[in-house]
Amino acid sequence: MSKQSVEEIKDESNYLRGSLPEQLASPVDHFDDDAKQLLKFHGVYQQEDRDSRKERKKQNLGPAYIMMARSRVPGGKLTPEQWLAHDELCDKFANGTFRLTSRQGIQFHGIVKSNLKALIKGLNDSLVSTLAACGDVERNIMCCPAPIRDNPVRDQMQQLTDTLAEHLSPQTPAYHEIWLNGESVIAHHHGEVIEPIYGKHYLPRKFKTAIALPEDNCVDVLTNDLGMVALHKNGQIEGYNIYAGGGMGMTHGMAKTYPRLATPVCFATPDEVIDAATAVVKVQRDYGNREDRKNARLKYTIDRLGQEKFNALVSEYFGRPLPPAHDGGVFGYDNHLGWHQQGDGKWWVGVHVLSGRIADTDRATIRTGLREIIRKYRPSIRITAQQNLLLSDIDPSQRQAIEADLTKNGMGTGRSLSLLVQDTMACVAMPTCGLALAESERALPDILQIVGSEIAKVGLGDADIVLRMTGCPNGCVRPYNSDIGLVGRSPGKYVVFLGGNKLGDALSYQFLDLVPVDQLAAKLHGPLMHYKEHRQEGERFGDFCRRIGKEKMLQIAGESAV
């Protein structure tokens, strides 16, 4: 870790330049610790191949440095040309695969330093940027991806997503200079304001935003720092309920860190919503904790200030009082899998992609199949918050052929998949993520088999249970508001969380700690059986676990308190 704090690195970076240009040109295979922090603002994480660590250590070799680069794709919208550019670039400069994220973006893994600039330039040539896909700024803005055409509500939501993404994007020319051979610009020339929203220190920590509908919270809006729920009537958006302070990250054994769902701040009309969102960002900029990154997210700022004080500050930064959020919350969810009419005579199809990994394996030739379909039929593309893919603008005459191509390449569209599989997610974890304590993506197929078999064994059939799995407690695929969350604790062992729900408006509780994979079925047997025998009509598993409570569930499982 750098001897300098991240705040000092930002302060001395000259608006995100630092020594990145010099280090990028150096033949050394990695960046130093200070530059590694600045890389994140440019959409890049420096990592290592952890699979090779032991063998390299035996040979007295240092880490096998690799990079992860993330595309920022507001609302998950891509043209066929942009998809094919990602497909081509992963072969040229990455590990031959790419990955759909739980925030509707795309990640490349296994990039060596000497290929990094060429990959980023290739993305920008297709009009896709990596700027602010990571770092202490607004990240990729999420929006319900359903491509319903000629629908004013959907059109306005998508327009807001694009406008807000541009508005909250860093304004420094450093990205263009470093990666795209832009002309160097002196940041302090004549007192020019380079970052009117962020300032030279940017935000205390990362900042995430999502836009949803009350009837379809497919983007998990309440897990975001800033959530906007569109309230509409007669085909028009009347305004947005604005929520703030959501966040999934925590640290094992550190009580001062915790997951939190966003809470109501105010209501804003469509012509107020950009300024209201900016006010939330600026309050976090000025009041967020810059001394302790473990407590730097907006959720901690709100809990430290108090909700009333925070809401008042948002109104103050906005310039006048904002009315309270309207009654009501989210009450629906759709994963958008399968075939749907999109309202203009054409169709979209939601394609399931396990863990979002676009690759060819023995089980499915997903990358090849999608490449062939997209080259031939040129569908528009949307990435979902469940790491799946929507292919849209499909002519009715093409449906049968596309369905056949999907089947041939081992891809499901919903009907052929169990409910457990449809909505499950896993983070990358090993071997690339430096934070991973246990496997996630690579372990997920076995975990699904274990949990799915236990669900069937107790006689629950195809129960609609959402399972999410991460290799560490940072919670990148939102395990803390799912029915079952598995969070990596150590190799082969997980913390089990119960009590979230599909709507995304309830947090789970820690049920059991350090559960080995081979004991997972036994630990879940009692809760699943009790759910089968004592659930109320229409009650989901997570809601049941929350109603019964942790202590009773531990008794049922035959365990002592954690």
SS (H, E, C) 473-489: CCCCCCHHHCCEEEEEE
Rounded (10°) angle between helices 298-305 and 307-318: 110
Residue 416: predicted pLDDT = 81
Q: Is 134 a catalytic residue?
A: no
40 annotated active-site: no
pLDDT value at position 193? 78
What does the pLDDT look like over 385-406, one tens digit per residue? 999 999 999 999 999 999 999 9
| Catalytic-labelled residue, pool 103, 472, 502, 550 | 472
**pLDDT (average), residues 226-255:** 97
| Every domain of the chain and the residues it spans | 204-334, 338-417, 421-557
What is the predicted pLDDT for the residue at 394?
A: 98
Q: Report, as an integer, the average pLDDT of 181-195.
A: 60
Q: Tell me what the mean pLDDT of segment 207-219 comes to.
A: 98
Asked if 545 is an active-site residue, the reply is no
* Pair 99, 107: CB distance under 8 Å: yes
Mean confidence (pLDDT) of the chain: 95
Q: What is the rounded average pLDDT of the residues 262-278?
A: 98
pTM higher than 0.75, yes or no? yes
User: Looking at residues 465-489, what average pLDDT do you find?
Assistant: 98
CB 517 within 8 A of CB 444: no
* Percent of the chain surpassing pLDDT 90: 94
Clarify whether 36 is annotated catalytic: no
What does the pLDDT average to over 223-249? 97
Q: Which of 498, 521, 433, 515 is nearest to 471 (CA)?
A: 433
Query: Which of the following is catalytic: 40, 476, 502, 546?
Result: 476
Q: pLDDT value at position 187?
A: 44
pLDDT tens digits for range 309-357: 999 999 999 999 999 999 989 999 999 999 999 999 999 999 999 999 9
Residue 188: which pLDDT band, with cuts at 50, 70 and 90?
very low
Q: Is 285 a catalytic residue?
A: no
- Inform me whether the pLDDT recorded for 560 exceeds 80: no
pLDDT category, 182, cuts 50, 70, 90? confident
Domains 204-334 and 338-417 are alike in CATH topology: no
Asked if residue 526 has pLDDT above 70, the reply is yes
Cβ-in-10-Å burial (0-12, 13-18, 19+) of 540 comes to buried
Of 77, 113, 208, 382, which residue is the catalytic one?
A: 208
pLDDT at 414: 79
Active-site option among 10, 36, 40, 70: 70
pLDDT value at residue 447: 98
pLDDT digits (tens, 9 = 90+) for 369-383: 999 999 999 999 999
Please give the average per-residue pLDDT across 449-464, as a whole number: 94
DSSP state of 190: G
Q: Which of 17, 40, 103, 139 is catalytic?
A: 139
Express each pLDDT in 95-150 by its tens digit.
999 999 999 999 999 999 999 999 999 999 999 999 999 999 999 999 999 999 99
What's the CATH number of domain 421-557, 3.40.50.970, 3.30.413.10, 3.90.1150.10, 3.90.1640.30?
3.30.413.10
Average pLDDT over residues 158-174: 97
- Cα–Cα distance for residue pair 215/486, rounded to 1 Å: 27
Query: With bands split at pLDDT 50, 70 and 90, how would you rate the model's confidence at 462?
Result: confident
How far apart are alpha carbons 262 and 328 in whole angstroms? 14
**Alpha carbon separation from 246 to 197, 274, 276, 287, 425 (Å, rounded):** 21, 19, 17, 16, 19
pLDDT attached to residue 491: 97
Specify whether domain 338-417 bears CATH 3.90.480.10.
yes
Angstrom CA distances, 165 to 3, 381, 384, stand at 33, 18, 17
Q: What pLDDT does 3 receive?
A: 74
Annotation says 218 is catalytic: no
Angle at 353 between CA 424 and CA 97, to 5 degrees: 125
Round to whole Å and give the CA distance between 247 and 431: 25
Q: What is residue 189's predicted lDDT score, i.e. its pLDDT?
A: 46
Give 35-65 pLDDT, tens digit per residue.
Answer: 999 999 999 999 999 999 999 999 999 999 9
Active-site hit among 134, 144, 218, 433? 433
Of the residues 134, 143, 218, 427, only one is catalytic, namely 427
Closest to 172 in 3D by CA, of 399, 15, 6, 371: 15
Per-residue pLDDT at 184 exceeds 80: no
Q: Does the active-site annotation cover 90?
A: no
pLDDT category of residue 1 using cuts at 50, 70 and 90: very low
Class of domain 204-334: alpha beta
